[in-house]
Every structure is written in C-alpha cells, then in structure tokens.
Amino acid sequence: MENNQEVNVKRGYLKENFAYFHLKDQKTQEYEFHYHEFNKIVIFISGKVTYLIEGKSYKLKPWDILLVSESDIHKALIDAEKLYERIIIWVNNSFLERHNEENCNLLTCFKIASSQKFNLLRLEPELIKGLRNILMQLEEANASDKFGSSILKNSLFLQLMVNLNRAALGRDLTKSSEDITYDETIEAAIDYINENLSGELSIDAIADKLYLNKYYLMHKFKTETGYTIHNYIVQKRLLKTSALIKEGVHTYEAFLESGFGDYSSFVRAFKKQFGLSPKKYCKAVLESSSK
C-alpha cells in the first residue's frame, strides 16, 4: 500500500449469510480508505469516533448506526485514548434477497442511505432498547453450536433487518444532522462523478461544471476526502464494472458502460484491483452463482 494512502482497497470477503463481529480495542491505528463488495452495518457503542463516508463526516454517539452500502469508500477516525467498542455486521445481499416479499425489500435501508446520501440512523431510546435485545440474542446464537442455532441466528438477523428498514423508512434527517459535516462543493463533485461515470470526467470538465478553478478543486477534494479526484473516478468505474459483470453484463459492454477510454488500461487496472482479469473475474462470478 502506498504511504500517501491514495489507493483505496477492498477489505474482507463474505461467503456466509452474514458475518457478526463485536469488537473492543484501544490502540493507535491509522485506517485507510477502503470499500467492501457487500453492505455493512456499523453499530457504535462507545469511544470517540468520526466516520468518513463518501465525503461526509459523521461524529458518532452511542448506539448510532451506520449503513455503509457496498462500494461506499469509507474509513474511521479513532481517538486512541478512548475504548472503541462497536458491532460490525457484514451483509450478504443474496441471503436477504431470498427472503424479500412483495413490497418488502430488506435492502431498502441501504438503498435509502445511498439515494439520500445520508448513512446515519439515530434511534429513539425505546427503539435502542429493542435493538440491544435483538443484538444480545443474535450474538449468543452466533456463538452457539446448540441444536437449531444456525436457524435461530438467521431468524434474528432477519428480525434485525426488518427493524432497521422500518427505522430508515421513518427517520427524521433533521434530528441527527448536527453531527454531520460536509463541504457542499465536494458533495456536488462526488454526485456529478457518480452520476456521469460513463461520460466525460476529466478534471477540467468537472471544474467547469462546478464553475471552479481546477487546481482549487483538486486540492479541496483531496483535503476533504483523503483521495485524489483521479483515484476516486478510477475506483468508482472499476466498482461499476464489477457490479455490471455480477448482473450478467458482458465484460466488454461493462467496460464501455463504465466510461474507461482504453481497454488495455482498464484490464490492467481491473486486475490490480480485483486480482483477476475481467474475463477470469466473470468466470468466477458465474461459477459462484451456479453453486
């Protein structure tokens, strides 16, 4: 990894229905910007932590919940003088999709977080009490090998997801906005990039769109997000290509739709990012989906 941490990396792989981690630590650790190819839930319990997600900064309070959508680039800023306790849940989308019903999509909370560009859930005290009860049972079932533990933990996880979706659908964004900071210029730049990945995204074009000096924009983007505009665009285009391939789009069509101008450069970048060429990646996805 480069010392300047401009290269964002993928962390973690998920083969189970979900993965549950209850973590406590108090140490100096510099996290780098990274992403996952699955959705993630962060339940903050204690410490002094600010989470950076796609240009927004969230100052967390106990029992705050972050819905980190797949491909969201993020990292935590942690005060090492405080004990940092949190519950992390990695979500396997295909597991939830198998339990969806008409007018009941269990991934709705992540879709809302992405569409509203607002990743924080801050629950009322009575809802926190219910959440803690579910999590206590889920943690116990997750660590158990008793009869039916696997069925029990899956049912508890589904119960948790129903409650998080209800909370997301009914949340009042104004109640938690005081602990969220962001730069409107950078938010506009990020929105423009993500909405135009298949089109012209030179730094000059983005600066012209936002009526800004390109050098000012480049400096401000790096200061506010921790990564350069170029690296952000390349990362997002690679993630879009990966998502399209998983949806069954042909590799070359995915390349065209993701806005890369040169196929050989795209292949090199893709292989560096995912460890496989696009064709081998496509083959691996097909083999995985057929199991």
CATH of the domain at 241: 1.10.10.60
Q: What is the pLDDT of residue 11?
A: 53
Q: What is the pLDDT of residue 42?
A: 97
Q: Going residue by residue through the chain (291 aa), what tens digit of pLDDT does each one get?
A: 333 333 344 555 567 899 999 999 887 666 778 888 899 999 999 999 999 999 889 999 999 999 999 888 888 989 988 999 999 999 999 899 999 998 899 999 999 999 888 999 999 899 999 999 999 999 999 999 999 999 999 999 999 999 999 999 988 776 666 778 888 899 899 999 999 998 889 999 999 999 999 999 999 998 887 778 998 999 899 989 988 998 889 888 999 999 988 899 899 999 988 888 988 888 887 776 655
3-state percent helix, strand, coil for the chain, nearest multiple of 5: 50, 20, 35
Q: Are 48 and 78 in contact (CB under 8 A)?
A: yes
pTM of the model: 0.83
Q: What is the pLDDT of residue 43?
A: 97
> Does the CA dihedral 201-203-208-210 come out positive or negative?
positive
Q: What is the pLDDT of residue 29?
A: 67
Q: What's the domain range around 153? A: 9-180
DSSP 104: B
Establish if 142 belongs to a structural domain.
Answer: yes
Q: What is the pLDDT of residue 157?
A: 97
Point out which residues pair with 22 in neighbouring strands.
87
Ramachandran angles phi, psi of 87, nearest 5°: -110, 130
Q: Are 175 and 197 found together in one domain?
A: no
Domain count, the chain: 2
Q: Are 242 and 249 in contact (CB under 8 A)?
A: no
Q: What is the pLDDT of residue 176?
A: 64
State which of 165, 180, 195 marks the end of a domain.
180
State which of 128, 163, 180 marks the end of a domain.
180
Report how far apart, in Å, the C-alpha atoms of 82 and of each of 22, 48, 49, 75, 79 are: 17, 6, 9, 18, 6
Q: What is the pLDDT of residue 3?
A: 36
Ramachandran angles phi, psi of 76, nearest 5°: -105, 140
Q: Are 168 and 188 found together in one domain?
A: no
Report how far apart, in Å, the C-alpha atoms of 28 and of each of 12, 24, 92, 225 are: 21, 13, 30, 21
Q: Which residues are within 8 A (CB) of 164 and not within 5 positions of it... i.e. 6 or more apart? A: 41, 65, 67, 109, 121
Q: What is the pLDDT of residue 285?
A: 79
- Residue 31's closest CA among 42, 39, 20? 42
Q: What is the pLDDT of residue 1?
A: 32
Q: Are 94 and 66 found together in one domain?
A: yes
- Residue 86's closest CA among 53, 59, 126, 47? 47
State which of 129, 158, 180 marks the end of a domain.
180
- Residue 94's closest CA among 10, 160, 13, 17? 17
Q: Are 26 and 147 found together in one domain?
A: yes
Establish if 2 belongs to a structural domain.
Answer: no
Distance linking the first and last C-alpha atoms of the chain: 34
